[in-house]
């Protein structure tokens, strides 16, 4: 009985059901028992690597059973000959990459052993197969194996050739190259065509045209100048040299370094630092006394002095005698003449005498006037010793002459050397009138608190006066005491001040007062005129006198009311006060002078309850085309002037109160010509006079106003109801009324009734 299937532990271990065994399916030497009981002996032969044969690129594996893996090496080939192609010219070298043409079946390198062909273990080979040289392939049932041909490798070969380059006069560049070089390729493993090393020949030429630059001259400039790159220069390039004539230290302001060329030291053509002294925008004229003529002569020409004036410089005069600086300065100037003066101090047995010299200077020369004593001390009892000891003494007119010692400080007391700082003696109590007048550049940084009196013009035009405060004991600022003290920066005044004289601080552009002492009763004319940095917002309630132009051109003050003790608003008192927005005048005000509020470009309303009997010309108008009036309402319900002139109007349109809308002129008796001319928005006028009308002298009073239809507008005039018909038929009023743009309305019952 034959067994066809063996099952152990439920799993099939062998199943030959339906199988037929033949001798060709069994190894040689093995025997199998058939179903009929007969034996079968196998005929399949056992094979190894020794049984494999190679021919060229073909490996043959004979039929049989390979109990273990078998392999056979393929024969080696030889390298082929590459064919080279010409490369391209790149700058000064030529790169050539040869190409290699191959045929199948050869291995590069000449001696390399081909890749092995492997037959897997336990395989039964019954046929032939061509196997790729790069791997292992199943050869079951094949009798022979062929190795496929390889692929070419690219040898890397570089040939370098230096071209011949030439440039002609027009900038044309020509480059050519020619070179032959043997090439022996170095080829990595693989299969390549047969052949031998060859040679490479490189040749060729090319041209390029450069941009040209003809000859040129480059001049020095305040900016860098460049010769562009990439150009062929066909002519000379000339850079002009820099001249340094007069570039000397004495011709350059002290402390200023002038560099010619690059701003850095390394690239400078020249660098000079100045030594010349200067006052910045100051032009100093030094006067020297001619020993033979006695004339004090300037150190510059008349034309140079005029040029300094015309150029806006601060022109000042200086003079000295025997080392003692003397007072001097300009009297006046025109386009033809400059008048200047010099004081000479002479100490006599009777005291000190100033001799005053006056000169007229023009392009023809200098005309000297005879000297005369300015301070006469002939009747004084002071002696030179008194002067030397620092005693105060007076001339015949009562003016103080000396307050310090002759040897050191008196020279500063009477002139203005630019580098001198004056210090007061500790025991001084009085500074005389004109004591420091016109000492332009003497530095005075403090006044001792012992001072109780400062005379008028004591520091007038003393530009170097810059004391931060005034002595606490003074009660009066006399007229012109500090006028044109351009360095004075006071922020407050002593609390005991009651009187501020005319021009006391006029022109002090650095003055920074924000208030005035409560006890001040008088502010004189032009007291603060031109002080455009003071910021006063209210006036002392004690004030009774406010002089003309007192605050003219004080652009930052914001005063809105005048104290009750002030009855007169003098001419130009607030002219040019550009920050005032409203102003209220009390019952006692009866006078408003010319230009009182001219050029107050922010003033929009004014109200005065006083019985004003004088309102003069241009009180509220503008004086310039660039700063028009902003006034919109002006109310004077108790005004009683005889005739209103052009306080608001002007025949020049840009000077009138062009935005004025409402005016109340109370009991005014008459309106003069041009009173409201060019008040382009005046639509409401209030006339309160009773018993008889306010007469109109000329219809031009309302030129270019809505009362006459200007800009298609109309107006209303409020009058006592009993006088409406009279106004409508009165001279000149009837003309305006007849034009049909104005209405006469009753004050009674209106918003304007008092």
- Band (80; pLDDT cuts 50, 70, 90): very low
pLDDT at 135: 37
pLDDT exceeds 70 at position 111: no
For residue 360, give the 3-state DSSP assignment. Answer: strand
List the one residue out of 531, 487, 499, 540 whose CA is nearest residue 513: 531
CA–CA dist 526, 561 (Å, integer): 19
The pLDDT, as a whole number, for residue 649 is: 94
Please list the residues that pair with 664 across neighbouring strands: 635, 686
Note the pLDDT tens digit of each residue in 576-631.
999 999 999 999 999 999 999 999 999 999 999 999 999 998 999 999 888 899 99
What does the pLDDT look like over 459-490, one tens digit per residue?
888 877 888 899 999 999 999 999 999 889 99
> Once rounded to an integer, what is the mean pLDDT over residues 382-395?
42
Instruction: Give dist(CA 60, CA 50) in Å, integer.
Output: 11
Q: What's the whole-number mean pLDDT along residues 14-23?
A: 62
Largest CA distance in the chain: 184
Taking residues 278-285, what's their average pLDDT?
A: 72
- Give ranges for CATH 3.80.10.10 in the chain: 421-557, 566-754
* Whole-angstrom distance, CA of residue 528 vs CA of residue 680: 34
pLDDT above 90 (res 427): no
CATH no. for 566-754: 3.80.10.10
Q: With 50 as the cut, is the pLDDT of residue 151 above it?
A: no
Residue 211 pLDDT greater than 90, yes or no: no
Question: Which has the closest alpha carbon to 308: 347, 289, 273, 280?
Answer: 280
pLDDT band for position 53 (cuts 50, 70, 90)? confident
Can you give the pTM of this predicted structure? 0.51
Mean pLDDT within 739-748: 96
> Looking at residue 210, what is its pLDDT?
74
pLDDT digits (tens, 9 = 90+) for 665-702: 999 999 999 999 999 999 999 999 999 999 999 999 99
Residue range 187-206, pLDDT digits in tens: 443 333 333 455 556 566 66
CA distance 273 to 106: 88
CATH topology of domain 421-557: 3.80.10
Mean pLDDT of the chain: 75
**pLDDT at res. 457:** 87
Give the pLDDT confidence of 250-275 residue by residue, as tens digits.
Answer: 667 665 777 776 655 556 667 777 66
For residues 728 and 735, the answer to whether their CB atoms sit within 8 Å is no
């Amino acid at each position: 009985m034959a067994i066809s299937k063996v099952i152990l532990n439920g799993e099939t271990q062998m199943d030959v059901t339906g199988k037929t065994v033949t001798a060709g399916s069994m190894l040689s030497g093995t025997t199998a028992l058939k179903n009929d009981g007969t034996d079968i002996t196998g005929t399949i032969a056992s094979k190894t690597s020794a049984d494999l044969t190679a021919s060229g690129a073909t490996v043959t594996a004979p039929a049989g059973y390979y109990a273990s893996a078998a392999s056979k090496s393929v024969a080696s080939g030889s390298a082929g000959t590459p064919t080279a192609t010409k490369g391209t010219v790149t700058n000064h070298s030529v790169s050539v990459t040869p190409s290699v043409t191959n045929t199948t079946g050869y291995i590069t390198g000449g001696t390399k052993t081909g890749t092995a062909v492997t037959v897997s273990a336990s395989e039964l080979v019954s046929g032939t197969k061509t196997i790729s040289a790069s791997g292992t392939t199943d050869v079951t049932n094949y009798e022979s194996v062929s190795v496929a041909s390889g692929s070419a490798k690219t040898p890397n070969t570089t040939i370098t050739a230096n071209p011949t380059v030439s440039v002609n006069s027009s900038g044309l560049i020509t480059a050519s190259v020619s070179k032959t070089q043997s090439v022996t390729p170095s080829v990595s493993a693989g299969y390549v065509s047969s052949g031998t090393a060859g040679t490479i020949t490189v040749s060729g030429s090319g041209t390029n045209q450069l941009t040209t630059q003809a000859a040129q001259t480059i001049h020095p400039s305040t900016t860098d100048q460049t010769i562009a790159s990439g150009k062929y220069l066909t002519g000379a390039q000339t850079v002009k040299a820099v001249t340094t004539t007069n570039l000397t230290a004495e011709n350059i302001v002290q402390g200023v370094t002038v560099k010619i060329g690059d701003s850095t030291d390394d690239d400078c053509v020249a660098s000079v630092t100045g030594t010349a002294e200067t006052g910045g925008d100051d032009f100093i004229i030094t006067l020297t006394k001619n020993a033979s003529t006695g004339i004090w002569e300037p150190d510059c020409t008349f034309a140079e002095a005029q040029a300094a004036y015309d150029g806006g410089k601060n022109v000042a005069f200086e003079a000295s005698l025997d080392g003692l600086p003397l007072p001097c300065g300009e009297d006046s100037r025109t386009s033809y003449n400059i008048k200047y003066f010099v004081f000479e101090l002479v100490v006599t047995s009777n005291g000190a005498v100033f001799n005053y010299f006056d000169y007229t200077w023009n392009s023809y020369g200098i005309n000297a006037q005879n000297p005369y004593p300015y301070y006469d001390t002939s009747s004084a009892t002071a002696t030179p010793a008194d002067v030397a000891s620092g005693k105060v003494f007076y001339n015949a007119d009562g003016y103080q002459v000396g307050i310090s010692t002759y040897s050191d400080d008196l020279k500063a007391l009477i002139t203005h050397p630019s580098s001198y700082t004056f210090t007061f003696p500790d025991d001084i109590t009085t500074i005389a009138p004109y004591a420091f007048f016109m000492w332009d550049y003497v530095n005075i940084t403090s006044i001792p608190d012992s001072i109780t009196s400062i005379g008028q013009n004591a520091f007038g035009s003393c530009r170097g006066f810059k004391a931060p405060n005034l002595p606490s004991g003074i009660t009066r600022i006399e007229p012109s005491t500090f006028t044109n003290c351009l360095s004075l920066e006071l922020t407050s005044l002593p609390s005991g001040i009651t009187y501020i004289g005319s021009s006391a601080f006029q022109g002090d552009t650095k003055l920074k007062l924000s208030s005035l002492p409560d006890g001040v009763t008088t502010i004189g004319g032009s007291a603060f005129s031109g002080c455009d940095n003071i910021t006063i917002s209210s006036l002392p309630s004690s004030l009774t006198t406010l002089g003309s132009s007192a605050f003219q051109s004080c652009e930052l003050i914001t005063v809105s009311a005048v104290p009750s003790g002030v009855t007169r608003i003098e001419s130009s008192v607030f002219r040019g006060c550009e920050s005032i927005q409203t102003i209220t005048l009390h019952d006692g005000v009866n006078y408003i002078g010319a230009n009182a509020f001219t050029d107050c470009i922010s003033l929009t309303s004014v109200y005065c309850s006083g019985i004003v009997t004088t309102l003069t010309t241009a009180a509220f108008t503008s004086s310039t085309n660039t700063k028009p009036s902003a006034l919109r309402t002006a109310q004077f319900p108790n005004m009683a002037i005889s005739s209103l002139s052009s306080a608001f109007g002007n025949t020049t349109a840009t000077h009138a109160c062009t935005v004025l809308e409402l005016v109340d002129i109370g009991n005014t008796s008459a309106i003069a010509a041009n009173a409201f001319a060019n008040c382009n928005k005046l639509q409401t006028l209030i006339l309160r006079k009773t018993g008889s009308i306010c007469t109109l002298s000329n219809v031009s009073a309302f030129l270019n106003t809505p009362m006459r239809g200007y800009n298609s507008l109309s107006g209303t005039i409020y009058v006592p109801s009993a006088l409406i018909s009279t106004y409508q038929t009165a001279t000149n009023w009837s003309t305006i009324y007849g034009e049909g743009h104005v209405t006469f309305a009753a004050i009674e019952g209106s918003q304007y009734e008092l």
